[in-house]
Amino acid sequence: MTEIRVLIADDQAAVREGLALLLETMSEVSVVGQAGDGLEAAALAAELAPDVVLMDLNMPRSNGIEATSTILAANPDIRVVVLTTYEDDASIVGALRAGALGYLTKAATRADIERAVKAAAAGQAILDPAVQRQLLAAATGGSASTAAGAAANGAAKSPGAEPEAADDLSPREADVLRLIAAGHSNREIAKKLFVGEATVKSHINRIFTKTGCRDRAQAVQYAFTHGYADPGGK
């Protein structure tokens, strides 16, 4: 595997340095830069073109959500994994909408961070279990910020319920979406469904078109909020 080049963005020097030491202990991972705020993160991402940016959210000058949008607008091939103390609706949804492919809280273990960085580099979404639960709670009207949206769009569905037909996903596309939400790569999905990777990619492209998702992170969010998948993995 090609070495994964990581840029760390966090406004606390001790956190940056600790993450750098941690990442350097991981196989096939190297730290290519450190940024203390969102503007510096965007500038270094443009200069260094890392594979993955490990992004804090609460930073001066430009926060992590703004920095994520700026970075991906200039280079959509860069993958952003959020690592933050925040797990509120606005932070989670804002980061995913900005294009973040992973979202971890700072309670994440070394193994969690390594898995998220390597999954992101491979184009796979990884969400902290607490974040998955928060998305599910939002989908079912579990917070004030989402209750109005749920009321406007009708009653939210429980996980496992039949999704609304508006997205018009075929049964096979629904299967692929569930496997994406479970964190499987295209290769793993192909093996599970006994099809070729090219077929999986075609299904994913149609899923993105029908659901309005632009990447796997948004597809994961869509799967949870439309009843295709259960964050508990049931």
Instruction: Work out the burial of residue 45: count CB atoms within 10 Å of its CB; fewer than 13 is exposed, 13-18 middle, 19 or more buried.
Output: buried
Same domain, yes or no, for 110 and 11?
yes
Q: Which residue has the higher pLDDT, 70 or 150?
A: 70
User: Is residue 72 predicted with pLDDT exceeding 50?
Assistant: yes
**Domain membership flag for residue 210:** yes
Banded model confidence at residue 232, pLDDT cuts 50, 70, 90: low
206 within domain boundaries: yes
Write out pLDDT tens, residues 92-126: 888 888 888 889 988 888 999 999 999 899 888 88
3-state secondary structure the chain: CCCEEEEEECCCHHHHHHHHHHHHCCCCEEEEEEECCHHHHHHHHHHHCCCEEEECCCCCCCCHHHHHHHHHHHCCCCEEEEEECCCCHHHHHHHHHHCCCEEEECCCCHHHHHHHHHHHHCCCCEECHHHHHHHHHHHCCCCHHHHHHHHHHCCCCCCCCCCCHHHCCCHHHHHHHHHHHCCCCHHHHHHHHCCCHHHHHHHHHHHHHHHCCCCHHHHHHHHHHCCCCCCCCC
181/86 same-domain check: no
Q: Say if residue 10 is in the same domain as residue 105.
A: yes
CB 29 within 8 A of CB 23: yes
Decide if pLDDT at 54 tops 90: yes
Q: Are 168 and 218 found together in one domain?
A: yes
Number of domains into which the chain is organized = 2
Domain identity same for 102 and 156: no
Q: Are residues 116 and 32 in the same domain?
A: yes
pLDDT for 231 beyond 70 = no
Please say which residue of 105, 124, 143 terminates a domain. Answer: 124
Domain holding 174, by residue range, is 151-225
pTM of the predicted protein model:
0.62
Query: What pLDDT was estimated at residue 57?
Result: 92
Joined together, the tokens standing for residue 25 give: 């202990």
Examine residue 231 and state whether it is found in any structural domain, yes or no.
no
* Least-confidence region, from 43-57, 111-125, 131-145: 131-145
pLDDT at res. 164: 42
Measured CA to CA, the distance from residue 220 to residue 183 in angstroms comes to: 9
Binning pLDDT at 50, 70 and 90, where does residue 136 land? low
Give yes or no: residues 8 and 100 share one domain. Answer: yes
Task: Please determine, for residue 143, whether its predicted confidence score (pLDDT) is greater than 70.
Answer: no
